[in-house]
Amino acid sequence: MKQIITFLGINAKETIYSFEGKNYKGNVFPEALQQFCDYDSMLVCVTSEAKDKTFPVLNSLGDARIQAVTIPKGETTEEMWETFKIITDKVNDNDSVVFDITHGLRSSPFLIFLFAAYLKAAKNVTIDAIYYGAWELGSSNNGIAPVIDLSEFIGMLDWLTATERFVEIGDGQALANLLKSAIPSGVELRDNPDSRPLRSQLNKAAEAIESISLALNVTRPIETMKSATQLEETLKQAALSFAQRAKPFSLLAERVVKEYGQFALEDPTDNAALAENLWLQLQMINWYIQRDRVVQAVTLAREWLISVLVLRFGELMFDPKKGRKPVEDTINNANNAVQKGRSSPLPITPSRCDEQFAALPEADELVKVWSQMTELRNDIAHVGMNLNPKTASKLKEKVESLYPQLEKLGQQLLPQRTTTE
């Protein structure tokens, strides 16, 4: 169903309104709106006074689709909430809605933008237009008032929400979807070949956001670093496209770059970049913790400890059997040795790294942190299906308490950073 929701004040004044090159006369703007807008129902919001003074203009049209909806004056916030409920209750799921903000109280435009945002989110409503018959501009336009569609600006809320979600929790899918929705249609691409670069640039921007979002969600630090490097360049190249097709994002892109630029590293697997790679992973662990992404934080932190020692001992960083397993064996050996008095001691698997590990001044601290991190990882992996699982809040509290120890170990075991954050 396509509905018009409009408001009336208490004064009528004959005005000529211009819409899409044609003129329409109305004593109130909805009278002109009735002439050029297709609709199934027009809900005319009126106070008791407006119902008596100006609604008769519309009632005289004899259009059964036009219905008066009595609302309070809006003198208090309680009355505004009442108006909110009256209007939103009359809109059905999946309706299409045209709002008119020409008449009514000065607070009406503010409320209507909130109505629109709410209806989009709660009832999947499509906002076809938000019209304003700018009669005050008629004096400079031969007495003809232009009709302005403000619906583009309601989309700003979608862009703000999607960008906030991406920056705050790393979920960029909503933002990517908005960028994809701005891509020119097939018909537009056919009729206007000059718009084809827009498709490529907007699509690349969406894919770059999806890439880093997914990499963060599934704890892929190397992919995150590569994606973060590509993101800034991709958004810069698409800046003109944003200005043409996604104006709200052209104002927000810098915030995205600032948030994820901290993880950028062009070639994180290069031997010369491994130390910086691990410093960035430490930042990433903290990023996860700050956003309550406990599973990712613990998963990455455990591997980070292994990686720090792999780099320290000169082993192969990305070879699970030849490089990482000897290091994991040696830290497990040290941990098992500490626990050897228990009833079921774990076996010792000799490793070529045992002597190097034992010689580290930080060996005891490493064993302590490793033991706690392994316990956390196991508790998370078993999803609480044991006799004494930690609560989610305890898991978060524990990983938060471990992070300063990880920072300390990083300062002790990693080469000092040669690049600025």
Q: Encode pLDDT of 115-124 as tens digits.
A: 888 898 899 9
pLDDT band at 404 (very low <50, low <70, confident <90, very high): very high
Query: What does pTM read for this prediction?
Result: 0.79
Per-residue pLDDT at 345: 58
Tell me: do 213 and 255 sit in the same domain.
Answer: yes
Tell me: do 280 and 371 sit in the same domain.
Answer: yes
User: What percent of the chain is predicted at pLDDT more than 70?
Assistant: 97
Per-residue pLDDT at 194: 72
| Residue showing tokens 């009336």 | 8
| Residue showing tokens 């010369």 | 272
CB 351 within 8 A of CB 363: no
Tell me: do 274 and 420 sit in the same domain.
Answer: yes
Q: What domain range is 381 assigned to?
A: 267-421
**SS3 of 47, please?**
coil
Which CATH number do you get for residue 76?
A: 3.40.50.10640
Q: Which long-range contacts (CB under 8 A, 24 or more apart) does 16-24 make?
A: 16/138, 16/143, 16/144, 16/145, 17/133, 17/135, 17/144, 17/145, 17/146, 17/147, 18/141, 18/144, 18/145, 18/146, 18/147, 19/147, 23/144
Read off the pLDDT of each residue in 313-318 and give the average, rounded to a whole number.
96
CB 294 within 8 A of CB 396: yes
- Write out pLDDT tens, residues 226-280: 999 998 889 888 888 888 888 888 888 888 988 999 999 999 999 999 999 999 9
Provide the token pair at 101.
Answer: 């903000």
- Give the whole-angstrom CA distance, residue 397 versus residue 401: 6
- 82-96, 314-328, 342-356, 397-411: the lowest-pLDDT one: 342-356
Tell me: do 323 and 215 sit in the same domain.
Answer: no
Tell me: do 120 and 28 sit in the same domain.
Answer: yes
- Give the whole-angstrom CA distance, residue 62 versus residue 277: 73
| Number of domains, the chain | 3
Domain C-terminal end among 264, 296, 331? 264
